[in-house]
Amino acid sequence: MKIELHPRIAQPFRPQDYILHEALKNAVEVAIALGQPLLLTGEPGTGKTKLAQKVALDLSGRTGSNFADKPLVFNTKTTSAARDLFYTYDALSHFQAANIKQVEGAKVHKLADFIELQALGKAIAYSNPATVDGSKFSTALPEKAQSSVVLIDEIDKAPRDFTNDILDEIENFRFSIKEQDNYSMSKSGDQHIVVIMTSNSEKNLPDAFLRRCVFYHIPFPSPDLLRDIVKTQLGSSTKFTEQMLDTMIEKFGEIRKRTVRKPPATAELIAWLRILEMQNFMETNEAKQRLQLLDNLSILVKTREDLEAIKGLF
């Protein structure tokens, strides 16, 4: 049997299609009004990370707004330090460049060539580019001041000291570049920085940090909201009828109840339906549909334990 190469069916995320339910919308507006970070928890795949794109797009579209239409993103790692949220200094490359014999006409590297602003550092600098000394780092600045949405993704991955060490900086939107004689930057009072942080609750965050945040837990969508999300993501050209979508969402709900280790999330449901649609699920007989459902269970379940638990549904 030959493996067929199908066209990519996964669609790029469109922020305008994100369905912002009332409680989540209120949490965003409260965080903006208070000038505090919004901390989001919820199952993987419930839209925590995508929310930042939606918020940036909506804020940029307001009359008179100078928000950037895309968020500045910091992907937290287990090795992340507080400084990394604002800037990085490539000390190794700087050391190597300083010790390489310069040939005639070669570029002479400066300290600033090895310092690059990161998400929150960019947002602060971008808010006031006219007063920022751009010679202190390699990151280009915009011509005009702008407001930004900053996404700090999976902040619970970082060491505990990470959140303790950014309490002042994230509350007052200021930081210093130690390697440049502690050159300091702070946010312009005329601009806004909206910080959205996500957490998978892998470990507890410090109380002092939580006190400075607006918290919201994104619950798994109700069947009605899930149906709206699916219809929006599949688009108007979907071959699934309303009745079939209801049946598939009901089946998906049963799968979530039976899984032992990791219930599938909204993103996996959409991927499952897209694959079935590509395989002309709606146009086949009942026996073949059952085989298609079984063949594509790997999209929904990720462990052998869960696979064995749900096989009886089909």
Which residue would you say has higher pLDDT here, 62 or 54?
54
- Which has more pLDDT, 295 or 6? 295
pLDDT: which is higher, 98 or 127: 127
Asked whether the predicted pLDDT for residue 115 surpasses 80, the reply is yes
Confidence of residue 240 (pLDDT cuts 50, 70, 90): confident
What is the topology classification, in CATH, of domain 15-218?
Rossmann fold (3.40.50)
pLDDT of residue 287: 86
Cα end-to-end span (Å), the chain: 25
**Share above pLDDT 70 across residues of the chain, in percent, rounded to a whole number:** 94
Bridging pattern class, strands 148-153 and 115-117:
unpaired
Q: Residue 103: what pLDDT?
A: 55
pLDDT at 9 over 70: no
Residues 6+ apart with CB under 8 A from 225: 19, 21
* Residue 312: predicted pLDDT: 77
Which residues is 292 bridged to in the sheet? none
User: 68-77, 96-105, 172-181, 304-313: lowest mean pLDDT where?
Assistant: 96-105
